[in-house]
Amino acid sequence: MSTTQENLASPKAPIDGDWLAAQIRAQGFDLAHIAPARPAATVDAFQAWLEGGHHGAMAYLARPDSVYKRADPRHILPTCRTVLAVAMNYYTHPRAGGLSDDPARGVISRYAWADNYYHVLAPRLRALAEALEARLERPVVARAYAGDGPILEKALAADGGLGFVGKNTLLIHPGLGSWLFLGELLLDVDLPPWSLPPNPGAAKAGSAGCGTCTRCLEACPTGALTSPYFLDAQRCISYLTIELKGSIPRPLRPLIGNRVFGCDLCQDVCPWNQRFARPTSDPAFQPREDASAPLLLDLMALDDQDFRLRYRGNPILRAKRHGLLRNVAVSLGNWGDPAAIPALAQAMSDPQPLIREHAAWALGRIHDDRARQALSAARTAETDPQVQAEIRLSLE
């Protein structure tokens, strides 16, 4: 009997593979796998990564309760019997988001070109739980996660056959690549192992793995991929521009280029993506206007209200205005064009010290007397010690 015909529940409430596949595809998921709840295979490696301090300022990852929950989904939901792992393709062609190599424009990670993926995946996962409950005709206890919970989701996905973890530490599916949002549904229902059959016409690939390829390691501007399958988050541009809440270390600022929110370089160069990535047709992931490469000077002019309106419902809200403008100031410094001087000079009076500090660094990168004049004028009024230090270094 084929997998799609096998009875996946009791005869009283049959959940056959065809029914399950229809429900999952109706919610827009491209990949899915059911597996028994069990300890995460990579928990020891995760613990060692934390002990090495590679998580940087993401202290929430190292909290004892967080580590405990990540070790086993049953530590989150004690009655959990089954884990449904899903993945959704979000790739859109670079031209769709207006991606540009123009240094006057900021580069934004592809995952933030559209709405916040959590608000897309989480309701769809809950809809699957409700469908199961209706099918079984009994209450189902479920927990839905989409990047928001204490779960080692890449380990669960790889353990469930949704792909393999590549040398860039991302999950890669041999027929789709790595442009995937991951989600999990923890269930108190016993279901035997099952995988969603591939869609008709899906890309076919050979044996999975990275082989001898090291393109991602070679492409990383900051050397965050210190060795195959190992990421030092403290050097990762995505961490520096999103997760880090304070100052970006000075030696790393020139390496960020014009990336103002996240970084996709290790995915852009991946042969699996170059060969097998295909654009999503899901309306939820179609890029917003001017999503991927906004003008840096436009971003630098955003006040609090403009920022909230422009990025309502978008992942960039997570960085907050002061985080985004910190990144924009760094990008303006890397651009080095005198056209940025008026905006950076204005930023030297911003209420946020973090913005003033990085604007001072950026002015110091622009070889123009007007930049020095702006720094000298700001020095007389500045009261924050860290900003004062940055002004002094920039003037030197």
Q: Which pLDDT score, from 0 to 100, does residue 200 have?
A: 65
Span 278-306, average pLDDT: 94
Span 8-34, average pLDDT: 82
Q: Which pLDDT score, from 0 to 100, does residue 4 have?
A: 37
For residue 17, pLDDT beyond 90 = no
From the number of C-beta atoms within 10 Å of its C-beta (0-12, 13-18, 19+), residue 141 rates as middle
Give the model's confidence band at 289: pLDDT under 50 very low, under 70 low, under 90 confident, else very high. confident
Q: Are 91 and 280 in contact (CB under 8 A)?
A: yes
Spell out the long-range contacts of 162-166 with Cβ–Cβ below 8 A and sequence spacing 24 or more: 162/31, 162/32, 162/33, 162/85, 162/87, 163/31, 163/87, 163/208, 164/208, 164/209, 165/229, 166/210, 166/216, 166/229, 166/270, 166/272
For residue 385, pLDDT beyond 80 = yes
Burial profile 259-270: b = 16 or more Cβ within 10 angstroms, e = fewer = bbbbbbbbbbbb
For residue 5, pLDDT beyond 60 = no
| pLDDT tens string 164-192 | 999 999 999 999 999 999 999 999 999 98
DSSP annotation of 77: S
First to last CA, the chain: 76
For residue 24, pLDDT beyond 70 = yes
| pLDDT tens string 359-381 | 999 999 999 999 999 999 999 99
**Pairing verdict, β 259-261 and 107-108:** parallel
Span 311-315, average pLDDT: 96
Give the Cα separation of 296 and 329 in Å (integer). 8
Q: At what angle do helices 118-136 and 17-26 cross, to 10 degrees?
A: 150
Give the model's confidence band at 291: pLDDT under 50 very low, under 70 low, under 90 confident, else very high. confident
Give the Cα separation of 1 and 271 in Å (integer). 36
For residue 260, pLDDT beyond 90 = yes
Most trustworthy range by pLDDT among 6-10, 93-97, 133-137, 205-209: 133-137
| Mean pLDDT, the chain, whole residue set | 92
Give the Cα separation of 280 and 120 in Å (integer). 14
Q: Which pLDDT score, from 0 to 100, does residue 9 have?
A: 46
Q: Which pLDDT score, from 0 to 100, does residue 94 have?
A: 72
Length of the chain as a residue count:
396
Strand ranges in 282-383 using DSSP code E only, listed in sequence order: none
Give the model's confidence band at 2: pLDDT under 50 very low, under 70 low, under 90 confident, else very high. very low
